[in-house]
Every structure is written in C-alpha cells, then in structure tokens.
C-alpha cells in the first residue's frame, strides 16, 4: 500500500488513499511529532505496545509549527504525540488535542529524552491537566526501541466523557425527615424536681440605711456627707445648685478654665450638668 505525502508551509501529514473514507466509519488515531519524519510502522508499534488495535493512523509531522490541526472537533479516538524536545507538546497543542478528541478519547505523550525524566513527567502531566484531561498516568516505555530512537517514558490521560456545552439534569435528593421514636415506658425527668426550695425563694435585697436614702445628711451623720454639704454652703451654693446643677452657658461643668468670673461653681471640680455635684473629703483644705 503506497503512502502519499502533502506538505503545507513547514508541516506535512501522511495518509493512505482510503484514509478519508475510513475515518468516518471506524476509529481514528492521530499521531503527531515535532520531527521531520515519523514512520507509520513506528506509530503502529507504539500503539500496539500501548494496548490499542492496529489502526491506519493519520500522521502530522513538524506539528510544533501548526496553530490548529486540520481536523474537526471531536473527530479522533486517540492521539499519539512522540517528541524529542521538552517544549512539545506545548499548552496550546495540548488544547488542540482536547479539541479534536472525542469525549472519552485518550492522549498518549511519548518522550525520547535522557536525564531529568521525573521533572519532564511532572511538566507533561501539568500540561494535559490544564488542557482538561483526567487521570494522567506515567508509562514506562524503555522497552520500545527503534533503529533511530528509543522511548524513555510516556504520559497517558483521558478526555472527559461529556462534550462542551452538555447539560445534565440533577436529581434533587429526597427530603429525609428524622423520626424520633419515644418509648412510653421511658422515664423522663421532671424539670421542677431539679429545683430545691431554696432556689424558689425570692431573693432579699439589702435594706438601704443612713444618708443614702435621704436628700440631706442625717443628724448623727458618720459617713462624711454632712461635712461635704457644710463645705458647699461655705461656697454660697444652694441645695438645688448642688443636687441639680444647671448652666446658662453650658460650660460650667467643664472646669474653671471654661467658667466666667461670676460663675457660682467657680473653684469646684468638673462635673456633669444635671447630676449632683460631688465634693471630695479634703476639698477646701490647704494642700500644705
């Protein structure tokens, strides 16, 4: 069976005369490489080692120079990429693999590199994962040898089984109502039985006594309130001015720095308007 070659720009692909008709009715395999030549026999050998049937492959060489493969979306069952350089397949080429592969199709990326194999494996796995492929796996291909090259490792990944834009109906989970089975014979604790007689007693508030319950100090005051009121009288303040201080300017309670010369509260500490003026015990006493 003779093979025909057609080239465009720097890229070329090889196909048999029956290829275009067979691609419609049977499974298709696309083989790509960054090299100038990729023998059909090499592609068939690799696919056989990978457990695939012997298909008549569609081959594209120098694929690194192509922006878009000349294939329809979701038209290929499997893609085989064989490369000697680390930059192929690029992220863009991996995206093209995802475009042309049918849902559930498989991509195989085989490398002939030497050294730093582990780093290259991780790089290829990252690229196919970012392209949307699932379950990337490492393959040991050292047993596959050819006259001009030998494979070192491979990466296998699968395209999801759904197409872009597909929709699925989500089944709403049935509402499960929790049932609590109460045994009539079960002994339940009475909440009232947890309280003692002491807990039920009304708390007794302390009885206020002394000057705290009167407007003025007691006759026999011992808490010091009588002395404070006596000092306030010396200042010329009335009882109302002490109990409910008011200010026409609104600044009397801020302190002497804000009081006028005729302010009745001049000399007193700062206080809040409307609240009783409180004098300390040592007020009006000499500091020295």
Which residues make up each annotated binding site? 211, 218, 221, 223, 249, 252, 260, 263
Residue 15 sits at φ, ψ, to 5 deg, of -150, 155
Q: Kindly report the CA angle at 143 between 139 and 144, in degrees rounded to 5?
A: 90
How close are the terminal C-alpha atoms of the chain, in Å? 125
| Phi, psi for 152 (deg, rounded to 5) | -105, -40
Across the strands, what pairs with 153?
Answer: 111, 140
- Binding-site members for [2Fe-2S] cluster are 211, 218, 221, 223
What residues form the annotated binding site for [4Fe-4S] cluster?
A: 249, 252, 260, 263
**101 phi/psi in degrees, rounded to 5:** -75, 145
- How much is the CA Rg of the chain, to the nearest whole Å? 48
In whole angstroms, what separates CA 221 from the centre of its chain? 70
């Amino acid at each position: 069976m003779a093979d025909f070659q057609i080239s465009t720009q720097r890229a070329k692909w090889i196909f048999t005369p029956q290829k275009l008709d067979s691609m419609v009715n049977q499974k298709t395999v696309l083989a790509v490489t960054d090299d100038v030549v990729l023998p059909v026999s090499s592609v068939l050998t690799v696919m056989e080692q990978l457990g695939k049937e012997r298909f008549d492959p569609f081959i594209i060489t120098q694929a690194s120079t192509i922006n878009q493969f000349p294939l329809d979306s979701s038209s290929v069952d499997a893609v085989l990429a064989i490369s000697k350089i680390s930059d192929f397949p690029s992220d863009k080429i991996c995206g093209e693999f995802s475009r042309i592969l049918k849902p559930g199709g498989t991509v195989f990326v085989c490398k002939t590199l030497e050294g730093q194999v582990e780093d290259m494996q991780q790089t290829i796995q990252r690229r196919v994962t970012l392209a949307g492929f699932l379950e990337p796996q490492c393959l040991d291909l050292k047993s596959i040898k050819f006259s001009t090259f030998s494979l070192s490792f491979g990466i296998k990944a699968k395209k999801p089984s759904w197409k872009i834009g597909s929709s699925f109906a989500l089944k709403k989970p049935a509402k499960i109502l929790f049932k609590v089975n109460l045994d009539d014979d079960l002994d339940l604790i009475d909440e009232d039985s947890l309280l003692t007689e002491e807990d039920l007693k009304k708390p007794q508030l302390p009885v206020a006594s002394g000057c705290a319950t009167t407007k003025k100090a007691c006759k026999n005051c011992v808490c010091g309130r009588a002395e404070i009121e006596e000092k306030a009288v010396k200042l010329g303040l009335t009882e109302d001015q002490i109990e409910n201080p008011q200010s026409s300017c609104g600044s009397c309670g801020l302190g002497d720095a804000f009081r006028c010369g005729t302010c009745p509260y001049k000399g007193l500490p700062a206080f809040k308007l409307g609240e009783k003026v409180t004098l300390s015990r040592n007020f009006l006493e000499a500091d020295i």
